[in-house]
Structure 1
Amino acid sequence: MTYKQIGWKELAAITGPQSKKSVEKIREISPLLAESLVEHAFGTLFTASPLPRRDQELVTISLLGAMGGAEPQLRTHLEAALRVGADPDELIALAEHLSVYACYPRALNLLRETRVILADKNLCTLKETRKVDLHDHDTRVFDSGGVKPVLVLIHALAMDWRMWREVIPNLSANFRVIAYDIRGFGCAAEAPSAAGLETYALDLSDLLNKLGVTQAHIAGLSLGGSIAQHLALKDPSRFHSLTIIAATAWPLEVFTQRADAAVLAGMDAQVIPSLTRWFRPEDLAENSWAVRYARNNVQRAFVSGWQAGWMALASIETGKRLNEITVPTHIVAGELDVSTPPELMKGFLAIPGASFEIIAGAPHMISLVYPHELAAAITRGTGLRQPALDIE
């Protein structure tokens, strides 16, 4: 195997079908530079680098953005980054990061080029967020707006509103979708610690009041599903419907152990046990945005928020009162969920008239792995029988 063959293989993997055409244009003027590009840059340096292709491209984009004046090359590498697994939100974050270490003009130029590439590839990002003041803390809220039935999404422990990122476009055709950061996580990380599910439920009620929402369809995943149950028992008048996704209504000793583990060993030590519960082996091997996002959230979480969330689940009592829930309820389980398996989820059928479905092949973090299927399940839970539409 020659350096030339190795270089062409690497070049094609990063820049795609345009690689040969690009090199031939260079060769027309400078055969030496074309050969050096293939054999030295791609055949030697890049191939031998311990940096994965995605990381190499993110570094290259950062350097070109900081240098300025290299917009054609910047576009090439933005496209390459997407090809080798970078996420649109990561590219936007690069421009935001660049504003601190380079300057705002360079960052705005990179943001402009990123926007062009994303538009050309019909890749949308959700940016309709704002801060909302609740009674004792701020949170960040996504609100798709519009005069439609309101659907509120409540995220899982350690995550933030972005765990619904791929679900929301499949729902916003039919609903005004609202997603927010619960107390202790995301932009609400500095809030006073929750004293149990009651605190989280009061926050949700406060948020609805601040947004002028009297009633809503409410769906929650994991801790979010437990919060929704609690509010359904406390104030059913706030609900059009309730969708409980991969959640529990029953306390387990392991919940206290998970809270204590963070206190004793810190958040880095919670990454492996959490991700192996939440995802399938193939998801972890692929290491897509969803897995990177979850890993980053666990590492960045404050021990206080993590502990409060697990202790709220450790003291949950809604399982004793499921037969008192009067809200139309839909239960969604993941077939391969090891945290809240289907057999456990069937306990929610104690809710009068509750419907139940299993999403085939889905692990615990259904919204991150099977967003389209989950959006359809949530839509069914609201009573809207027409399929949700993809919004590009």
Structure 2
Amino acid sequence: MFTASQSNGQIKPSQSGYAPVNGLKVYYEVYGEGRPLILLHGAFMTIGTNWGQLIPELSKNRKVIAIELQGHGHTPFSERKLSPATLASDVEGVMDYLKIDSADVAGYSFGGAVAYKFAIRSPKRLRKLVIISATYKSSGWLPEINSAFKQMKPELFANTPMQTAYDEVAPDKTKWTKFLEQMIASAAVPFDFGDANISKIAAPVLIISGDNDGLDKMELIKTYQLLGGAVAADMGKMPASQLAIVPAQSHVTLMMQTTTILNYLNDFLK
């Protein structure tokens, strides 16, 4: 039986540890009981920095499994080449380890791209998909975002909250710069999972985007159309997938709208 114990206002996981997956030890935390919901964090983030405010509410009636991807948080740095396909395979490996046949999956930013890849690779393991401020192709970002990816340098992250969070939990703090270099190199590589693959996603998808979060909204509408949305539902059927544009939000501030995101998630996943 899960009992939520409080620690600094945050609940503690009922289970946590490392899943041996693809030659890596992938860290996970489990909260609550019920239908499984997997959470995938954004770039350079940890479970706590991305999902800390949402997990206590989401876990009231769900089994929440939060994962830290390669090199992030508790999961050790690895020289293994970073790719969305490899990370999506890691997610499936954690599911195997925890004996979870299928789950809802929610990903933010970098984690959203991994979630898209998971949906394409492992359709039978997916119930519903939530994509928060993320895209499945480089051209889904505005040109200035892609330009910023190419200009990132490790020193930009020095003494930031991201480094503080990393230092608190990383098994080897000396890998911080190598981790940043690996992530920055990965971010500079153009990617496209394919419109045809997105249109084949059978699971219902909820896309949440800030109106000024750096995503190209014309491309976002095209994505929603590929998923069966952007129709005149009064003249037919309401699509299974949904699109939410949250006003006056950037890429960073969007994840701070805890109540808004929680309401969208609960309505969509119930």
2:40 corresponds in structure 1 to 154
Check if 1:238 corresponds to 2:114. no
TM norm structure 2: 0.77
**Greater CA deviation, 354-363 or 199-208?**
354-363
Distance in 2, Cα, partners of 1:367 & 1:124: 22
2:110 corresponds in structure 1 to 223
Distance in 2, Cα, partners of 1:201 & 1:174: 25
Q: Is the 8 A contact 1:168 1:375 kept in 2?
A: no
Q: Which has the higher strand share?
A: 2
Distance in 2, Cα, partners of 1:295 & 1:364: 19
- Whichever residue aligns with residue 229 of structure 1, its letter is Y
| Shift in CA distance, 375/341, structure 1 to aligned 2, threshold 3 Å | farther
1:322 corresponds in structure 2 to 198
Pick from 348, 351, 355 the counterpart of residue 227 of structure 2: 351
User: What is the root-mean-square deviation of aligned Cα atoms in Å?
Assistant: 2.9
Shift of 1:362: 2.6
Q: Is the 8 A contact 1:201 1:228 kept in 2?
A: yes
Q: Secondary structure at the match of 1:326?
A: coil
Q: Is the 8 A contact 2:72 2:166 kept in 1?
A: no
1:10 corresponds in structure 2 to none
Shift of 1:367: 6.2
Check if 1:166 corresponds to 2:42. no
Shift of 1:205: 0.4
- Whichever residue aligns with residue 124 of structure 1, its letter is G
Q: Is the 8 A contact 1:145 1:177 kept in 2?
A: yes
Check if 1:134 corresponds to 2:20. yes
| Shift in CA distance, 335/170, structure 1 to aligned 2, threshold 3 Å | farther
Q: Secondary structure at the match of 1:369?
A: coil
Q: Is the 8 A contact 2:106 2:115 kept in 1?
A: yes
1:165-193 deviation line (CA, Å, top 9, x unaligned):
00111211121111111112212241233
**Greater CA deviation, 202-211 or 185-194?**
185-194
Q: Which has the higher helix share?
A: 1
Distance in 1, Cα, partners of 2:108 & 2:76: 19
Check if 1:362 corresponds to 2:249. yes
| Shift in CA distance, 256/205, structure 1 to aligned 2, threshold 3 Å | same
Pick from 341, 355, 371 the counterpart of residue 258 of structure 2: 371
Distance in 1, Cα, partners of 2:253 & 2:127: 23
Distance in 2, Cα, partners of 1:341 & 1:376: 24
1:285-305 deviation line (CA, Å, top 9, x unaligned):
xxxxxxx63464589462344
Q: Is the 8 A contact 1:183 1:305 kept in 2?
A: no
Distance in 2, Cα, partners of 1:318 & 1:298: 33
1:333 corresponds in structure 2 to 209
How many equivalent pairs are there?
Answer: 239
TM norm structure 1: 0.54
- Whichever residue aligns with residue 235 of structure 1, its letter is S
Q: Secondary structure at the match of 2:74?
A: helix
Distance in 1, Cα, partners of 2:192 & 2:200: 15
Shift of 1:380: 2.4
1:124 corresponds in structure 2 to 9
Q: Which has the higher contact order (CA 8 A, sep 6+)?
A: 2
1:312-355 deviation line (CA, Å, top 9, x unaligned):
6x223244532111111111111231x22544432321113421
Gaps of 5+ in 1: 1-114, 273-291, 385-392
Q: Is the 8 A contact 1:164 1:367 kept in 2?
A: no
Shift of 1:133: 2.7
Distance in 2, Cα, partners of 1:222 & 1:370: 15
1:138-168 deviation line (CA, Å, top 9, x unaligned):
232121042x011111011111211100011
Distance in 1, Cα, partners of 2:252 & 2:227: 23
Q: Secondary structure at the match of 2:136?
A: coil
2:161 corresponds in structure 1 to 293
